[in-house]
């Protein structure tokens, strides 16, 4: 179980299923719905395998945006049950093979409006429906993610708890360090903990550098297990979330984010830093692929199934050859000497 696993060691999450599937050509940018799970199940299953072999301890059912509101946008609300059931079944098959856990998935509904009580009932109904279908293949716990309203997060939590399941609730923060319904970060997480959330945390929108300072405040504010699942796209203090990035004066989101991608070393450094901060569930979100997750696992001292293919650059005929290494050393040395001589002038 997830809580026992967290008790023993940090838990490594997976990467961003939807963005990786979009990159591979199987999710449409725009709606970002996961109909691929019924149209090309083998593609989804393979990506679960890729994350499992990269060392993920948990794989998330590919059910992000598999709710009525989003499926209606693409005229597939009739496939709601099949998509949710299949998403969990595919994750379950891979998890069994690798001895890891399956997280069911709930996310922001685009239905919830804090001022309109009827939307609260409707949000709950949609969450209940997804949970019921995803439970057909038994999840180990549920992650409700990318939620920006505390009110909506509390409804997701109630729905998960009503089903008798362990709940991980992660909120998303763009510019502000409060929820869209105006609750300060610390207060929001305290309320989620008080309402019974087993794991709380932050996911999506921000890169590790922009997310970890918020996670440090969360760490201070509440006891218990904490999660971070940042995006693997560089952000900055003036543009702290990835949808705000620009390229040649135009928005880079979502089709021109490639130059912003974090390297595997940067994601590995994040994993180590998160562990040092007392974060127990260390995962990733949009943009993070299997190579990031393997680097994170190895930085945490683990050897994972695909470590058998991890870099051994000394075996490369050019960059790994002794002559190349000597030449590089000499170049650096002569550059340093040149620098010193210029300094003397």
Q: C-beta of 204: minimal distance to Zn ion in Å? A: 3
Return the number of other C-beta atoms located less than 10 Å from residue 60's C-beta. 27
Q: C-beta of 16: minimal distance to Zn ion in Å? A: 5
Q: C-beta of 319: minimal distance to Zn ion in Å? A: 34
Residues numbered 252-291 forming contacts with Zn ion, rule: CB under 5 A: 285-286
**Burial zone of 319 (CB within 10 Å; 0-12 exposed, 13-18 middle, 19+ buried):** exposed
Residue 166 backbone phi and psi in degrees, to 5: -75, 140
Bin 297: left if φ > 0, else alpha if -120 < ψ < 50, else beta: alpha
Q: How far is CA 133 from CA 19, 89, 114, in A?
A: 24, 10, 27
Number of residues that make up the chain: 345
* Contact range with Zn ion by CB under 5 A, out of 136-144, 201-209, 252-260, 321-329: 201-209
Q: Are 30 and 21 in contact (CB under 8 A)?
A: no
* Angle at CA of residue 257, ends 21 and 40, nearest 5°: 10
Q: Which of 106, 185, 204, 210 binds Zn ion (CB under 5 A)?
A: 204
* Contact range with Zn ion by CB under 5 A, out of 109-117, 155-163, 198-206, 276-284: 198-206
100 binds Zn ion (CB under 5 A): no
- The sign of the dihedral angle between the CA atoms of 169, 171, 177, 181 is negative
Size of the site for Zn ion (CB under 5 A): 3
| Contact pattern for Zn ion over residues 155 through 194, marking x by CB under 5 A | ----------------------------------------
When the beta carbons of 49 and 232 are compared against Zn ion, the nearer one is 232
* Contact range with Zn ion by CB under 5 A, out of 22-30, 81-89, 200-208, 239-247: 200-208
Residues forming the site for Zn ion (CB under 5 A) = 204, 285-286
């Amino acid at each position: 179980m997830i809580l026992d696993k967290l008790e023993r060691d940090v838990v490594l999450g997976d990467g961003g299923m939807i963005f990786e599937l979009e990159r591979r050509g199987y999710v449409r940018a725009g709606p970002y719905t996961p109909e691929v799970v019924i149209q090309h199940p083998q593609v989804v299953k393979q990506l679960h395998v890729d994350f499992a072999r990269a060392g993920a301890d948990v794989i998330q059912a590919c059910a992000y945006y598999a709710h009525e509101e989003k499926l209606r946008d693409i005229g597939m609300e009739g496939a709601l049950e099949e998509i949710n059931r299949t998403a969990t079944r595919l994750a379950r098959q891979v998890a069994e093979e690798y001895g890891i856990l399956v997280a069911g998935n709930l996310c922001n509904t685009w239905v919830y409006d804090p001022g309109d009580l009827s939307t609260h009932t409707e949000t709950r109904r949609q969450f209940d429906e997804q949970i019921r279908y995803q439970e057909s293949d038994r999840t180990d716990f549920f992650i409700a993610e990318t939620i920006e309203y505390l009110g909506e997060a509390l409804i997701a939590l109630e729905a998960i708890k009503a089903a008798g399941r362990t709940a991980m609730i992660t909120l998303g923060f763009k510019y502000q360090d409060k929820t869209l319904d105006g609750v300060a970060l610390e207060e929001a997480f305290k309320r989620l903990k008080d309402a019974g959330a087993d794991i709380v945390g932050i996911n999506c929108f921000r890169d590790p550098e922009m997310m970890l300072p918020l996670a440090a405040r969360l760490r201070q504010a509440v006891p218990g297990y904490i999660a971070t699942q940042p995006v693997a796209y560089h952000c900055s203090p003036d543009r702290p979330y990835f949808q705000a990035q620009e390229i040649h004066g135009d928005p880079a989101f979502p089709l021109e984010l490639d130059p912003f991608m974090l390297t595997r070393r940067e994601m590995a450094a994040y994993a180590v830093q998160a562990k040092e901060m007392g974060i127990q569930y260390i995962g990733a979100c949009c943009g993070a692929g299997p190579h990031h997750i393997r680097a994170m696992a190895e930085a945490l001292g683990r050897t994972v199934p695909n470590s058998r293919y991890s870099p051994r650059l000394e075996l490369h005929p050019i960059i790994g050859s002794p002559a190349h290494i000597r030449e590089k050393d000499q170049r650096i040395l002569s550059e340093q000497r040149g620098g010193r001589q210029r300094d003397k002038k």
